Amino acid sequence: MSGRGSLCVLICVFCFCCKESMFKVKLTVTGKDLKGCGKQKKVCVTSSDDCLAASDVLTATLESFVNVSCHSLEHEESFTCRWIQMSDVRTETVNTFIFRRADDIISCPSILNYFSRFNLIIKSKSVSQKEQFSEVYPVIIKEIVQAPRPVITSVNVTDSSVNVTWNGGKIQVTKCRIRFKHLKTESWTETADFPASDESLFVIEGLQAFSEYRLSVSCFYGNRRWSDWSDETRVKTSESPPSASLSLSYHVASDGNSRGRQLLLLWKALDVTDARGLIRGYEVSYMPTKQPSLKKTFSTTDLKAVVRVTAEEYEVTVWANNSAGRSPPRRLRVDASRSHDVRSVKGLWVYSDGSSLRIRWERDFSAVNVSEFAIEWSAVTNPIRKHWQRVDGSTFTTRLTGIEPDETYTISVYPVYDSLCGPPTSISADLQHGALLDLARFRLVNVTQSSLAVQWTWKEAKPRVSVRQYRLVLEGAHGNESLSVFPDKQQHSFDQLHANAKYSVYIQEETRTGNFSKASLDVNTPLIDYDEMMRFAVPVVLLLLVFGIFSVSSRTIFREYFFPIVANPRYSLIGRWLLNPHLKGSGKICVLKLESSFQFDQQENNFIQVERRVSSISEHEEVIPSKISTTGEGTTLWKPNSDALAPSSLPEYVDLPLLADNSDYVQTGQISSVAQTSD
């Protein structure tokens, strides 16, 4: 029950606050602003229209005038009141004072003297002629007299303090106080009350160098009230040498020479509190640690430097300078012989965002040690004047301000890994078109049963509209897939697709007004992949080839060793003669004595030709005459029509058998020839 009641009270208060508006009001008048009301001697007003109302009984609207306070300045003879005006609608109002006294007022301007007392009524009239009156406030001037406001006459600054001098007027000052605040803060800092001196001088210490402050003074006179704060004075402390060293990073890259290297030095601008002034430039010094005499020094106003070094260890020192001096040195030892595998930013893109450029890059979850990103941009027409911005390592987008409409800018992003930094990734853009790149030559590279690959190129161009990003989209009956594409990517492969299916692949432009298709392809995945067919066919062909080789080899090598060929008598001349059942002999061995019939030359080979004449030979059977050669090595029989020195391809060697006892020999020198006939 109590919870519900509290809720109701909160709702009521909220409704009341929504309906009511309040604003502060201050009204100051002097004796010259007061007017009399003729016969009404006891009334003075600031507007003649209030004389009629002064004689009437006025109905006060207490809730319309809150926190009313008034004071008087004696030397100015002025009267001031402040209050908070409550109104249903905040509209322009006219506020006036009505002064009443129990006795007659001789002169209205004199009513504001030090010893005067009276009753005050505040009247507020809106543009809609609605009048509101406050309650009656009794006023005794001598009790509300306030000291006059001091006037600051001069300020002298150092790098950490301000000397303030002011004028308190003709009245003797008792004590004073000063308040001050940094220009970029909202809260004031007040000093303790300090006794006022004849010089009216005070020193504010512990301020930041090269910083702007606002300050004012208030004083107390005798037993009177504190004066109003003086008019605010704006001061700026002077410069002092920078108090902190620079944050320095480096990157070593090869320039194509085996010993040559390019050393990129990148540092961060000092914070205002550390710079303590306007940084006018930087001094860079580098030298080989083993050859100090080769030390080189140069100055620059940029936040980076690129120097050529050799593959050895160097000592690098960087200072920041202002008009008061230079910062503590930042020293770094660099081993230029060793290159570091530091990733650059991927997926950099830029598009116009009103009067600024919005840049973004791809989130790389593997690069967990990135502490910051350094963004550099400059106009193409003025590359010397460069702008820099640093963002946290967890930030992957930022806005570049101060972009000129007709300028083309080169934007580079460096990843920073504490003392190491990566190479820059750059892109060109302008305020009208965003990134000056366009996607072209979108084509199909490869398609398989379960995947397809597409390719495209990037070219420098001014697109028709500012493209926030390009997206590669795959649509099919089994689902859709999309991803963002950036200038560092020129090919993509979609996997896990379905065989014998139709897909649509297209590039989509995402702009401020909508999404538009730029290029598209219709692709059908095959039922069987060529690679899959080859994976199946090649082993089969190889298997058949091996089997064929094995079959041929088995007829020669394996058969020769494991299955030797058995001679067939049918294919032998002597075998056919021996197997012929029609040839019968008497068993008598006849020896032809050749010496009596022929004369043999012992120096040459001698030949005897024997022809077989058998009537039972078939017409289809070839009759092959034979020759018998007698040499010193024996007797040889071969086919005719062949070279005498080279026997035919099917020679037959006949070893003469041992002769029986009833056979004779025919001797011809050293050559012995035996002829045996069956007849």
Q: Which DSSP string do the residues of 514-544 spell out, in sequence order?
A: -EEEEEEEEEE--SS-HHHHHHHHHHHHHHH
Mean pLDDT of 330-349: 88
Distance, in Å, from the CA atom of 244 to the CA atom of 330, rounded to the nearest integer, reads: 9
User: Contact, 288 vs 314, CB < 8 A?
Assistant: yes
User: Contact, 146 vs 228, CB < 8 A?
Assistant: yes
Q: How confident is the model at residue 365, as a pLDDT? A: 53
Residue 374: pLDDT band with limits 50, 70, 90: very high
Residue 257: pLDDT band with limits 50, 70, 90: low
Q: Is the pLDDT of residue 214 over 90?
A: yes
Residue 611: pLDDT band with limits 50, 70, 90: low
Q: How confident is the model at residue 639, as a pLDDT? A: 43
Q: Is the pLDDT of residue 476 over 90?
A: no
Q: How confident is the model at residue 381, as a pLDDT? A: 92
Residue 192: pLDDT band with limits 50, 70, 90: very high
DSSP state of 60: B
Q: Is the pLDDT of residue 414 over 60?
A: yes
User: Contact, 87 vs 32, CB < 8 A?
Assistant: no
Mean pLDDT of 197-209: 86
| CA dihedral sign of residues 532, 534, 538, 541 | positive
Distance, in Å, from the CA atom of 430 to the CA atom of 403, rounded to the nearest integer, reads: 8
Specify the residue for token string 């690679």: 531
Residue among 243, 215, 217, 245 nearest 230 (CA): 217
- Rounded to a whole number, what is the largest CA-CA distance in the chain? 203
Q: How confident is the model at residue 304, as a pLDDT? A: 94
Helices and strands (DSSP H and E) totals, the chain: 7, 47
Distance, in Å, from the CA atom of 290 to the CA atom of 314, rounded to the nearest integer, reads: 8
Residue 637: pLDDT band with limits 50, 70, 90: very low
Mean pLDDT of 384-393: 92
User: Contact, 484 vs 477, CB < 8 A?
Assistant: no
Q: Say how many C-beta atoms besides its own lie within 10 A of residue 578's C-beta.
A: 10
Segment among 121-135, 502-516, 575-589 with least mean pLDDT: 575-589
Q: Is the pLDDT of residue 93 over 90?
A: no
Residue among 447, 446, 582 nearest 502 (CA): 447
Q: How confident is the model at residue 14, as a pLDDT? A: 35
Q: What is the mean pLDDT of the chain?
A: 80
Distance, in Å, from the CA atom of 193 to the CA atom of 332, rounded to the nearest integer, reads: 51
Segment among 16-25, 371-380, 450-459 with least mean pLDDT: 16-25
Determine if the pTM surpasses 0.85: no
Q: Is the pLDDT of residue 239 over 90?
A: yes
Mean pLDDT of 649-669: 45
Helices (H), 558-679: 559-562, 573-579
Q: How confident is the model at residue 349, as a pLDDT? A: 94
Specify the residue for token string 């060529």: 530
Helices (H), 55-196: 141-144
| Structure confidence by residue, pLDDT tens digits, 20-41 | 567 889 899 998 889 888 888 8
Residue among 436, 502, 511, 432 nearest 470 (CA): 511
Most confident of 158-172, 485-499, 598-612: 485-499
291: Cα separation from own chain's centroid: 39
Q: How confident is the model at residue 329, as a pLDDT? A: 95
Q: How confident is the model at residue 22, as a pLDDT? A: 78
Mean pLDDT of 307-313: 91
Q: How confident is the model at residue 332, as a pLDDT? A: 93
Which amino acid would we find at residue 554? S
DSSP state of 563: S
Q: How confident is the model at residue 500, as a pLDDT? A: 87
In sequence order, what are the residues at sequence separation of 6 or more whose Cβ sits closer than 8 angstroms to the Cβ of residue 67? Answer: 82, 83, 84
Q: How confident is the model at residue 178, as a pLDDT? A: 94
Most confident of 479-483, 556-560, 675-679: 479-483
Distance, in Å, from the CA atom of 381 to the CA atom of 401, rounded to the nearest integer, reads: 18
User: Contact, 329 vs 318, CB < 8 A?
Assistant: yes
